[in-house]
Amino acid sequence: MVDKDIKVEIMVDEKEKKHSFIKKYWLNIILLFATILSTLFAGAFQETGKFVDSVRNLGLGLPFSFSLIIILLSHELGHYFASRYHNVPASLPYFLPVPHPLVGTFGAFIKMKGKIRDRNSLMDLGAAGPFAGVIVAIPILIIGINHSQVVPLSEVVGKQLWPTLGASILFRSIVYALKGYIPGDMGLMLHPMAYAAWIGLWVTSINLIPIGQLDGGHILYALLRKKSIWVSRVVFILILLMGLLWMGWLFWGFFTAVVIRFHHPPPLDDEKPLDRKRKIVGVLSIILLVITFLPTPFFE
pTM of the model: 0.89
pLDDT at 290 over 80: yes
CA gap 131, 155 in Å, rounded: 37
Whether residue 157 is predicted with pLDDT greater than 80 in this model: the reply is no
pLDDT band for position 3 (cuts 50, 70, 90): low
Q: What is the pLDDT of residues 132-155, one digit of tens each?
A: 999 999 999 999 999 999 988 877
**Which of 248, 168, 247, 263 minimizes the C-alpha distance to 214?**
263
pLDDT of the residue at 13:
53
Mean pLDDT of 165-180: 94
pLDDT in tens, 193-241: 999 999 999 999 999 999 988 999 999 999 999 999 999 999 999 999 9
The predicted model gives 60-78 an average pLDDT of: 97
The whole-chain average pLDDT of the chain stands at: 89
